[in-house]
Structure 1
């Protein structure tokens, strides 16, 4: 079973990797959002904190991460 990813950037201004801007606040990305290769890149990136979480835990807060049709999080906030 694939896991959700919880990703937060270490830099205060956030960090861009795999086509997304990752803010310093933790964001949940549903299982399947990233390819296997992208997950490897994200986990290897020193500027990101990446943790795995069970998908069931996402159900209660699943609506908090806006998704596009491609399954990518939509950029939000100023400067996005």
Structure 2
């Protein structure tokens, strides 16, 4: 779900993968695509960064995936 100031995603990664590395790849890759598709966006950015520095990650563990999917809609 994309909101005005943040985005919600439900993804599955291998437990051996670094969450920080996956987030970095998602942010970097999406930034490149958006900047290429919409070059006019540069005038609206503060500085050189498209995404903010931080992120929040939560493991759903035993929670029901269907409930989580409904939450992020």
* Rg (Cα) greater in structure: 2
Q: In proportion to residue count, which structure has more helix?
A: 2
After TM superposition, the score normalised by the length of structure 1 is 0.28
Compare relative contact order (CA 8 Å, sep 6+) and give the higher one, 1 or 2.
2
